[in-house]
A and B are shown apart, each in its own frame.
Chain A
Amino acid sequence: MSAPTPPRIELAGVGRTYRVGEPEAVPALRDIDWTIPPGEFVSVEGPSGCGKTTLLNLVGLLDAPTAGEIRWDGTPVGHRPDRERARLRLKGVGFIFQRFYLLPTLTALENIELPMRALRVPRAERTRRAGDLLEEVGLHGKERSFPHQLSGGEEQRVAVARALANRPGVLLADEPTGELDSGNAAAILALLERVRADRDATLVLVTHNPEVARHARRHVTMRDGRIASDVPGA
């Protein structure tokens, strides 16, 4: 089964305001108009607190905007109910987090199988696919290892494999190298570039590190909840 064509993602006038614990609304994002064509490799850069992660959460439908709309291939999806957004995430988006967020009570293989279980992929097939993915990220033989038995770089490789489990068209990576040494960071970036290219997937990579951002083809810089620049890379 081949990977589905990534959707064209559009953000139109998107804003996100938080009110939790604050006497007044705190705007994290304001008036974002942004389009991500299918198969794009784009980095989102900017200082801490500028709204990078909030933007990524909205693109990946982890959160809903308080203003504006998010469209996938022209279809509004930003304000869909939680259940529908969860279904879209499960099938169409692979997340890679800075702190890996593997489930510590599951083995590497089980962590990769988790999204497939939610899609009710038959056991034999999901075990085979998880094994293939583990091999693809260079961790053959670590199937039964628990996260605490893996190095940071290995954990992030498992997280990349898990993100690819349901063959998503969109990969979203939030500071994927933030917890890694330079050697592992380079290996993970190379891995991400390779799997993206192999699958023609869209990759949005959030980072505050210009060296990491250099790998992308397009560079978005954020400041104070707004997109300050959006330029093609080298």
Chain B
Amino acid sequence: MRWGYGSSLRHLRLQQVLAIAAVGTAVALPVVLVSVGGGVAAHELAGLENAGYQIVVSAAGAHGIVDSHNLTDRIRAIASVAAASPTLSLTVDVFPSGGSPTAVPAEGVIPDQFPATLPPEERDLFPSVLRLGDPTDAVHFDNGTYAGPASNDVMISTALAAAHGIANGTTLLIGGSDNRSQAVAYIVTGSFGAASSLLGPVEGSAVLLPLSNLQVLGGLATGPDAFQHDASDTIEVSVTGGSSVDPAALAQVRAQIQSLVPFYAVTSLGQEAQQLESASGVLTGFYLALSSVGLTVGLLFLALVLVRRVESDRRSIGIRRALGLPAGSIAREIVLDGIRLALLGAAVGVIGGYVLVEALAAWGSSGVRLAAQWARFDPVTIGAIVVGIVALSLLASGVATRVALRIEITEALR
């Protein structure tokens, strides 16, 4: 239907543009929210699926996990467990040659177990064999007495090496505090890369040590009279290939570990993935609920524009009805007009949402930029949004049609 009888063409076009803009805004909102939210969730899920280890034992607090070496040995004795590495994360001070003390994150690990628990994308960051002197970290730990010789080998991140000009083979003082006199001399035996983090600048540690060395540095094992609890904060467990993809087998291993440590959290990443998927589903629902507010506003605007156009075309509608054109043909034209505006608005919204996400990916702040880069434009979801807006446009058209069909012919022709 070519509208326009009795209405200014300029105003008509302005109304059309405004209606398309309103619908476009209403569509862009869910497109951005669902695409970015879904992308971040998918990225996190991928991260879990590629974590390297499949089960994690964790305990929070200063004590964390106690008796870590012994517990790790017991976990490793479980069938299907391929590797288990306790990790202790502490902040230590390093004393670069001629420099002031620098606080850096350090990680203590079992050297020959740690690489097997790394995610695929991080394996290339570390040498396959960590050059940390004591592969099992058993000599220094020595059944909890820490009486054996410390390896005094350390690996540092490439970033730390570059920042302070630390080369392999040089001596690096490392202490549990900024008191240089209490620092211990370590030999730098190698370096490792740093992975980009999800939403922060750099993830990982700057210093990698055998677990027992870090426990001593942290004052968690300083001598026979000291409090010795062989602390770590997590134990990452990877299982053999077949079991790693079998949820039932994984659940069985998790249960066996849980029976060893009834008071610690033992989580399989599959569970976390399920929880994340559930949370992602809830968030998507929330996004759509939030978007429904925008869609409602768009719908109201569309209805107003269509009703306004019906009002301005009273005479045209009256003429058609006077000639005997069936009400259905007039209704059909209004509905088609509403659908046309809705589809144009939806196209504007989808394209606008895409452009907005691309702009955020290019110029947003670091966290926003990363989230936008992970955005996933799922055709099914976007199609559902478009179908939704078209369905809503039928409601708007219905309102306008009702107004049109209530026009008295004889009144309209006066």
Contact = CB atoms under 8 A, between A and B. Distances in A.
Given A57-B410, A114-B320, A90 B2 contact: no
Interface in B1-31: 2-5
Contacts of A91: 324
B325 A118 contact: yes
Contacts of A62: 322, 409-410
| Residue among A62, A83, A88, A114 with max Cβ neighbours from chain B (10 Å) | A62
A89 B324 contact: yes
A89 B323 contact: yes
A91 B323 CA distance: 9
A86 B321 CA distance: 7
B321 A103 contact: no
Given A86-B325, A86-B327, A101-B319, 20 more contacts: A57-B410, A62-B410, A63-B409, A83-B327, A87-B324, A88-B324, A89-B322, A90-B325, A101-B315, A103-B316, A103-B319, A104-B4, A104-B5, A105-B5, A106-B2, A114-B323, A115-B325, A118-B324, A118-B325, A162-B323
- Prevailing SS type, chain B contact patch: helix
A83 B5 CA distance: 24
Given A101-B319, A105-B3, A86 B413 contact: no
Contact of A118 (B3, B315, B316, B329): B329
B201 interface: no
B324 A93 contact: yes
Of the four ranges (under 10, 10 to 19, 20 to 34, 35 or more), the interface on chain B belongs to 10 to 19
A97 B323 CA distance: 11
A82 B409 CA distance: 11
A95 B324 CA distance: 10
Interface residues of A, number: 23
**4 nearest CB pairs, A to B:** A90-B324, A89-B324, A105-B2, A118-B325
A90 B323 contact: yes
B200 interface: no
Contacts of A115: 323-325
Interface in A175-191: none
A121 B409 CA distance: 24
Interface in A111-127: 114-115, 118
25 contacts: A62-B322, A62-B409, A63-B410, A83-B327, A86-B324, A86-B325, A86-B326, A86-B327, A87-B326, A89-B323, A91-B324, A95-B322, A97-B413, A101-B315, A101-B319, A101-B322, A101-B413, A103-B319, A104-B5, A105-B2, A105-B4, A114-B323, A114-B325, A115-B325, A118-B329
Contacts of B316: 103
